[in-house]
Each structure stands twice: as C-alpha cells, then as structure tokens.
Amino acid sequence: MNMPNEDTANTLMQRIAVLEQISESPDFLCRRFATAEHRRANDQVAEWMKAAGLTVQEDQIGNIIGRFEGIENDAPAIMMGSHLDTVVKAGKYDGMLGVLCALAAVEHFAKRGERLPFALEVVGFADEEGVRYHSTYLGSKAITGKLDVAELDRIDGEGISMRNALIQFGKDPEQLHTAKRQASDLRGFIEVHIEQGPVLERENLPVGVVTSIAGATRLAVQLHGEAGHAGTVPMHLRRDTLCAAAESICAIERICKADPELVGTVGRIDADPGASNVIPGHTTFTVDVRSPSDEKRLRAIDEIKHHILNAAASRGVEAQIEQPHAEPSIDCDADISRIMAEAVGNHCTSVQWIPSGAGHDTAAMLEMTPSGMLFVRCKGGISHHPDESIEAEDGAIAIKVLIETLQKLAQQ
Ligand code: HGY
Ligand code: MN
Ligand code: MN
C-alpha cells in the first residue's frame, strides 16, 4: 500500500497556503474566533473533508468535524486535529498543520475505502489561542463539556459578548451543551503541531513525541488612577497607572527570570487616554505565566499579584486582577505516545521526547480521552510569527506517523 508521497506533501503545503489567505488583515495572518474569517476557514476545510468522503458537521461552538466511519457504523472514533484560529501576525502552521495532517491521514484510508475497527474524525477547533476573548480552548472544552457557560458573557475589544458573536456566527448559545461528546464516543485524540521550539532542529529530527504540556495562568489587569495634565500635575500628586504597570511588569520579569522553569510574558498593554501630554488614568495589561511545575507557577502568580497590588497602592491607584485562564501541567497518554513513538522510530534515527512549553487543545482533550501529541520540526523554533516554517518532507513524515499509529491502534 503506497504511503504518503510527494503529492501528499504538496497537497499539504498548498492547503496551508490557501488557509493563510483567510485573514482579517491583508498585511498579516490573523483569524479570530467566530469571525467572518473563521467562517471562511471552516467552509474551506469542510469542502476538503467532503471531497475526501467524510461526513461533516459543525457544532454549536464552531468546531468543524469530519468523520470517516469504521468497519461498524457509529463506532467510537480516534479524533485527530488541532485549531483553526490564530494569534495576531501569526505563522501559517500553528494549528492548521495539525488539522491538515489529520485530514491527509484520513484521506489515505478513505481513498482506499479501508475501514478500521474505529471511526476516524478530523477536527478543526474553533478557538485555542483565546485572542478574541482571552480564554483559551473554547472548542476543545466545548467537546469535553468543560466550557463554563459564564464564558458567554465575556466581552471582546469591540464590546461584543461571546454570546452575540456566536449568534452572529449562526449558532444558538443556548444549545452550546450539544457540542459535548460522550467519553464513549472517542477512543482517543492525537494532535500534530509544530514544535514551536528548537529541540528537533538541534537534534536534526523531523518529528518527536510530546511528553507533557506545561501549565499556564493568564491574568487580565486593570489599573484605575487619575488622568491629568503632563505639565501641571506635580509628581507627588499623581495617580499614574502606567507607572504602576511598568513597576509591575519589571517585577514579573524579575520573578520569572529567577527560575529557569518559569516563563512570564506581558503581551499586551493599553494606556488610556494614550496622549503623550496626559497622565494615563487607566491602564490594562495581560500576564501569561507558564511552568512544567504547577507549584512554581502558582507561587509566581501569587508573588506577581502581590507586586501589582503594591505598585498600585503606592501610587493611590486601584487594581483589578482577573484570571481568565489557568490550566495545570499535564502528561500525555502513555499508551498512545508509546505507539506513536514506535511509528516515529520507522522514520527517525532516534525518538525524541519533548515537553511542551506551549499550551495545546490536547491538554483539554486529556480531560476526556487518552490523548497524545506529535511535534514537527520548525525552522529556528520560530512561532507566533510570520516567519514560522516547516519542510514539506517533515509534514509528509508526520502524516506517515499518523497513519502508522492508526494502523497499530487498529491491530490492538
Ligand atoms: O499560547 C500558547 O501556548 C498556544 O499557542 N495557545
Ligand atoms: Mn499558538
Ligand atoms: Mn497552537
């Protein structure tokens, strides 16, 4: 049986290029949850799924799901996939590679009419990055039933609630619960994803197996002080929120630099009113802290909250700290990972096991079903950046590993 070949790799890269064009901006790739671009991306992936002979449905959070039945109809499925949303000024592989490798693996069986003892499903998750509503894994959490309906009240930067965004996207928020799958519907979940790090390139390996996914906490900080004239308000009478934020941000960097197992990032800051001759009366900023050690992450978050409150209080500024996201670090399923490693061994001189510093839908899916991840080498480890890139051959190897993993699972 001929395995994926150059054609497969070319099709993969062509499809990546098609999805790269579906963006909110003509100048860079950005595709957020429940936008017109999300709709276009879902429709395009649905078209490829149908052409491959999969039945397609879109659930009430906006996940697009293609299904290829097993030997028996309605058998539990091995689900594979990743997310179709992106960050701002994104790379074109983060998320999309996993959806399209999964589709290529199912196409391999569908083209031959080769049915397995389980169904195969391909999922394009609606939102993993959390760019629009700052809470992540909306798609995978809807499937596992862990999505809190209170999330529907979140407001985006344009003042649109998640509830209204879903209605505009053609969904019924009151039916959100119907996106939940039963644990018995699935036998497992596998996600292919770019490594977003330097290990595979350094080891000169095309793919590697993920051991665990780091825990992450996100904070949304609001500082309320007093706007004023930059020229007339004496320094000791100011309630300057941007200075309070600046002191906090330096503390965050200091705390996270002190421990190699911690990373901390302030990715966004907004000062209002944002004029050079006005003291900022209102400042908001985000905090993202990750660690393989939950204890270290939680301790760092406590320290960071303490510093923010102190930096605010010492300036007569009021601080509001929200925590829209917190996930513990989690190990990938040992059995699925072992089977994937056997397949990796057919294509690599050695099997590299890699912990993930980045978050992935696999972390959410592990709440419901045995799940594992395959990393693909990416140039310079660059990600969340337009220069994100992979070699087509490495993509083809990832597809081969997926196919061989499914064949091994079918023999179990
Ligand atoms: O932020 C992350 O780790 C992932 O890219 N959502
Ligand atoms: Mn990402
Ligand atoms: Mn991703």
Assess whether 207 and 219 both reside in one domain.
no
Residue with CA at minimum distance from ligand 1 atom 6: 129
Last residue of a domain, one of 292, 327, 362: 327
Q: What is the largest CA-CA distance in the chain?
A: 79
Assess whether 205 and 339 both reside in one domain.
yes
Ligand 1 pocket, mutate which of 384, 385, 388 (most atoms under 8 A from CB): 384
Assess whether 204 and 270 both reside in one domain.
no
Distance of CA 360 from the midpoint of ligand 1 (Å): 6
What residues does ligand 1 touch, defined as CB less than 6 Å away? 128-129, 136, 358-359
Assess whether 114 and 201 both reside in one domain.
yes
Ligand nearest to the CA of 195: 3
CA distance 370 to 362: 9
Q: Is residue 301 part of a domain?
A: yes
CA distance 237 to 114: 75
Assess whether 316 and 374 both reside in one domain.
no
pLDDT of residue 135: 85
Tell me, what CATH number does 289's domain have? 3.30.70.360
CB–CB of 221/287 below 8 Å? yes
Q: Which atom of ligand 1 is least distant from the CA of 384?
A: 5
Distance of CA 28 from the midpoint of ligand 1 (Å): 18
Q: Is residue 1 part of a domain?
A: no
Assess whether 32 and 157 both reside in one domain.
yes
| Token pair 């860079």: residue | 28
Residue 234, C-beta contacts closer than 8 angstroms, at least 6 positions apart:
none
Q: What is the token pair recorded at 103?
A: 């589709």
CA distance 318 to 311: 10
CB–CB of 389/378 below 8 Å? yes
Residue 185 DSSP label: G
Rg, C-alpha atoms of the chain: 23
Assess whether 128 and 15 both reside in one domain.
yes
Distance of CA 211 from the midpoint of ligand 1 (Å): 17
If we measure between CA atoms, which residue out of 198, 311, 301, 287 comes closest to residue 259?
Answer: 301
Is the preceding omega at residue 26 within 30 degrees of 0, hence cis?
A: no
Q: Which atom of ligand 1 is least distant from the CA of 83?
A: 6
pLDDT in tens, 80-110: 999 999 999 999 999 999 999 999 999 999 9
What is the extent of the structural domain holding 372? 6-213+331-411
CA distance 136 to 155: 14
CB–CB of 260/242 below 8 Å? no
Distance of CA 129 from the midpoint of ligand 1 (Å): 6
Assess whether 282 and 350 both reside in one domain.
no
Q: Which atom of ligand 1 is least distant from the CA of 358?
A: 3
Assess whether 11 and 125 both reside in one domain.
yes
Last residue of a domain, one of 303, 327, 351: 327
Ligand 1 pocket, mutate which of 129, 194, 268 (most atoms under 8 A from CB): 129
CA distance 327 to 146: 12
Ligand nearest to the CA of 83: 3
If we measure between CA atoms, which residue out of 252, 308, 317, 234 comes closest to residue 280?
Answer: 317
pLDDT in tens, 345-393: 999 999 999 999 999 999 999 999 999 999 999 999 999 999 999 999 9
CB–CB of 101/394 below 8 Å? no
The β-bridge relationship of strands 269-272 and 371-376 is: unpaired
Q: Which atom of ligand 1 is least distant from the CA of 128?
A: 6
- To the nearest whole number, what is the mean pLDDT of the chain? 97
CA distance 182 to 321: 35
Would you call 194 exposed, middle or buried from its count of C-beta atoms within 10 A (0-12, 13-18, 19+)? buried
Assess whether 155 and 19 both reside in one domain.
yes
Residue 5 DSSP label: -
> For the whole model, what pTM was predicted?
0.91
Q: Is the pLDDT of residue 283 over 80?
A: yes
pLDDT of residue 1: 39
Assess whether 167 and 274 both reside in one domain.
no
pLDDT in tens, 237-274: 999 999 999 999 999 999 999 999 999 999 999 999 99
Q: Is residue 15 part of a domain?
A: yes
| Token pair 């999964």: residue | 102
**Using 50, 70 and 90 to split pLDDT, how confident is the model at 3?**
low
Q: Is residue 365 part of a domain?
A: yes
Assess whether 289 and 181 both reside in one domain.
no
Tell me, what CATH number does 402's domain have? 3.40.630.10
User: How many structural domains compose the chain?
Assistant: 2
Q: Is the pLDDT of residue 2 over 90?
A: no
